[in-house]
Amino acid sequence: MTKELLKGNIAIAEAAVRAGLEAYFGYPITPQTELLEYLSQRMTELDRVFLQAESEVAAINMVYGAACTGARVMTSSSSPGVSLMQEGMSYIAGSELPCVIVDVMRGGPGLGNILPSQADYFQVTRSAGHGDFHPIVLAPASVQEAIDFVGLAFDLADKYRHMVLLAADGQIGQMMEPAELPPMRPLQKNVPDWALTGAKAREKRVITSLYLKGEEEEAFNLKIQKKLKQIKKNEQRSVEYATEDAELLVIGFGTAGRIAYSAVEAAREKGLRVGLLRPQTLWPFPERRISELADQASGCLVVEMNAGQMVEDVRLAIGGQIPVTFYGRTGGIVPMPDEILAAIEESYSRLQIAV
């Protein structure tokens, strides 16, 4: 296999095709439009379903319908579009349907702007729709990781009969990097045993999110919670750099995590004992590993492209054991490595390091 110079949005689209995507529904919005544009040609070429809906609301409900038939299905959007999709996302979760939703986040709130942002961390991990659930959320930091996570997203969606969100940002969507695409997987042959395929000569199946009786709704909720507990146990993912002897643990995801890597490298060159943990799953949050690292570190700095959202999960994971500080930029501003380095030096200088 050879590497190609690929733009994030296009790489995600082609990775989905190769992961056996059977149907895509979407609506254009910057900074993810190339994804939809690419699929409009590629999917029709392969005689698979591509449909540009009349709105994000329609697109997510088409995803809902197609997912009921057991097809591998995906949509993609960016922050304001994802807000419009939330009702449908809740119904999909309430019907336990697998699907992949790509969110190439941009600056908000409101129409905001089209620059890279991580301001929808709460939205994707906490409030992807009404009701008591979390989607699985994967956060790539490079084009290669975006490709790898698309395949993983479909597999996790099928494994748990659950919605998986790929939470990227405008920078990942627009950036070109050398990356390797996986080989084309054959389309799935077996339709799952819950799928709606026409009830001829078999018992009818019902897919619904409506449970009028409290006891039934509670039983269903407990079933979801049991599944989420399994996911929390099995699927926490993160990567680390120079954490072995780190006194200051820096935590950042996606683009912010990647820029923090440069800052941590620079801090190491200055002789500071600093390490980086980059969560790859935002839900489930890699709390086990962060808690372990908090046992050896003296402080933690969280870096995000928002006003401080994941930092709350870090504080929950660390439980007050060590001080947690925060550095963030908002409005679509991507922090430069030198400002993160300054935040590292500031946090480091305040550490009480036992000698």
Partner 1 sequence: MQKEFLFSGFGGQGVMFAGQLLAYAAMDEGLEVTWIPSYGPEMRGGTAHCFVVISNKPIGSPVTRHPQAVVVFNNPSFTKYEGEVAPGGLLAVNSSLINQESRRTDISVLPVPATQLADSLGDLRMANVVMLGAVLEVLPALPPAAIRRALEAHLPERRRHLLEANYKALEKGAEFARSMVKSA
Residues that bind partner 1 (CB under 8 A): 3, 5, 30-31, 113-115, 170-171, 174-178, 258-263, 265, 334, 336-338
Helix (H) / strand (E) element for 216: namely helix 214-234
**Three-class DSSP category at 86:** helix
CB of 76 to partner 1, least distance (A): 16
Nearer to partner 1, 177 or 217 (CB): 177
Residue 157, φ and ψ in degrees, nearest 5: -60, -45
CB of 157 to partner 1, least distance (A): 29
Nearer to partner 1, 114 or 166 (CB): 114
H-state helical runs in the chain: 8-18, 33-45, 56-68, 79-94, 121-125, 143-160, 170-174, 214-234, 254-269, 287-296, 310-318, 337-349
Task: Give bridge partners of residue 116 from the DSSP assignment.
Answer: 106
* Amino acid sitting at position 168: A
Nearer to partner 1, 33 or 298 (CB): 33
CB of 42 to partner 1, least distance (A): 17
Nearer to partner 1, 143 or 318 (CB): 143
Task: Give bridge partners of residue 167 from the DSSP assignment.
Answer: 103
Nearer to partner 1, 60 or 115 (CB): 115
Distance CA 145, CA 160 (A): 21
CB of 105 to partner 1, least distance (A): 14
CB of 114 to partner 1, least distance (A): 7
CA distances from 300 to 169, 240, 249, 336 (A): 24, 14, 5, 19
Nearer to partner 1, 210 or 342 (CB): 342
Distance CA 332, CA 113 (A): 7
CB of 328 to partner 1, least distance (A): 16
